[in-house]
Amino acid sequence: MRHLRVPNREVEDALLTLRDRGWLATGMRVIPDEDDDYRLVPLDPGAPIEMTNPLDSHQLVQHEGVVDNRVDTDWWNHLALLVDEEEIEAFGEDWPSSHEFISDMMVVRIEPNLDPYSSRIAEAKLRAHPHIRLVLNDEGVQGELRIRKLTPIGARVDGDIITENIPQSACSTRVLVRESGRSIACDPNKAYFSTKLQSERLETLSLSKELRAILGRPINVCDPFCGVGPALSTLLSESELVNHVLASDLNPEAVALLLDNLGRWDRRDYPSEPSPISRIFEDRIVGIADATRLLEDDSLTGRWDLIIVNLPHRTIEFLPSLMPLLELSTPSLVRGRVIVPESEIPGANEEIKRSLPRLLTGFPEPSLRIKRDYSSSLRLCSFEAWISPQQT
Ligand SMILES: C[S@@+](CC[C@H](N)C(=O)[O-])C[C@H]1O[C@@H](n2cnc3c(N)ncnc32)[C@H](O)[C@@H]1O
């Protein structure tokens, strides 16, 4: 999570300004820096990528966020009014103390043994978080389209908390999320979207700027698993960074949301209905497509400086079919995410290298970095690979 590194004596002022602008993360703590003279102030995901005066004198750093337990006690207090103390103790760590906010919705993961308590969990969460409209139980990402199965377990309707027979009208999951100063339309019931990938997107932004500096021109970006387009949101917010874009996904519902998003980010009129991939503007190729078949269209191959491969359970398998899309007369970049057992990371690194064209000398070789646990044995990792121009 992004933090602002502020000298101790300026923390109060920084907090006032951040609160005033709506840029302070809610429910997270100000934490000490390694240097005792500084504090790390947590930033809301919606805060812009660059700080403005007077906050721009402080350094922006990435640091694991620390939940403010004083806020969280609230939900426990409410739960304690709805569930016996012995029952709370009996289920210990299984109670869902963490959650993800997606605009005015809260997503919680309820362990199967706590299913009978889901209404009470939803009620306690809604009481503890008055700005939340809908609480959804996350039953995991499913199928090729990676859509989460989200079941409404509680809603606020006209100020009342409802956990049974929730009306359809209260269950809409289409929302606008603020991230890095932009709005992203998403509907986690119809297309993959995760607020947890903001730092990944900021890393991609910084790598893209490096690539622009190497090429000495704006870059052409191919995002063939783009979902609703959050990676592009961050890249398009940097002026003169992006030239041509290919944005496609297999899921028509994701493409419908993407078109809505691109219309706002680009300030141009995109079609409202999703259709197979086509050139919508001279510099925008957008639509529904199977990424593994893009190489069959000559007009799409050999053109892209950056390819984003975000289908982590199949990235390694799909990499070879994506390489013909790279522009290979100049240096280029592949940015990917991979799910792999921890013990197999060295083998996966070798397999990635085998799928890539010749690497750019003077840059680190692609190597999977663990970002978080995906399950007890699997790790979610990311990598970047700098590709050399190829001699013909
Ligand atoms: C993990 S999601 C990432 C979405 C988006 N890049 C993001 O960061 O939110 C993977 C996306 O790949 C899409 N997908 C799955 N198989 C695909 C394929 N063969 N071709 C194109 N897209 C595919 C899914 O519909 C999904 O939107």
For 17-75, the pLDDT digits (tens) are 999 899 999 888 999 999 989 999 999 999 999 999 999 999 999 998 888 766 666 88
pLDDT (0 to 100) of residue 392:
63
Q: Residue 97: what pLDDT?
A: 81
Place of tokens 């706002």: 264
Closest residue by Cα to atom 27, ligand 1, is: 227
145-148 long-range contacts, Cβ below 8 Å, gap at least 24? Answer: 145/191, 145/192, 145/250, 145/251, 145/254, 146/192, 146/311, 147/188, 147/189, 147/190, 147/191, 147/192, 147/251, 148/107, 148/188, 148/189, 148/192
Best CA proximity match to 209, nearest among 303, 328, 304, 305: 305
146: CA distance to ligand 1 center in Å?
7
For the chain, domain boundaries: 2-62, 69-173, 193-387
Which fold would CATH assign to domain 69-173?
GMP Synthetase; Chain A, domain 3 (3.30.300)
Q: Is 204 in the pocket of ligand 1 (CB under 6 A)?
A: no
- Local structure of 105: helix, strand or coil: strand
**Cα(385) to centroid(ligand 1), Å:** 20
CATH of domain 193-387: 3.40.50.150
| Nearest CA residue ID for atom 18, ligand 1 | 290
pLDDT at 71: 63
Cα of 230 vs centre of ligand 1, distance in Å, is: 12
Q: Given the CA of residue 224, which atom of ligand 1 is nearest to it? A: 21
Question: Tokens 């890393």 identify what position?
Answer: 203
Q: Is 135 in the pocket of ligand 1 (CB under 6 A)?
A: no
Which regions of the chain are under pLDDT 50?
none
Question: Are the C-beta atoms of residues 326 and 302 closer than 8 Å to each other?
Answer: yes
* Predicted local confidence at residue 26, as pLDDT: 83
CB of 304 shorter than 6 A to ligand 1 = no
Tell me the residue type at 63. Answer: H
Q: Which pLDDT does position 72 carry in this prediction?
A: 64
> Which atom number of ligand 1 is nearest to the Cα of residue 254?
27
Q: 145 CB less than 6 Å from ligand 1?
A: yes
pLDDT score of 390: 87
Distance 188 CA to ligand 1 centre (A): 13
Atom of ligand 1 nearest to the CA of 194: 9
Distance 248 CA to ligand 1 centre (A): 9
Q: Which of 192, 321, 371 to mutate to test the pocket of ligand 1 (most atoms within 8 A of CB)?
A: 192
- Please give the CATH architecture assigned to the domain spanning 2-62: 2-Layer Sandwich (3.30)
Nearest CA to ligand 1 atom 6: 226
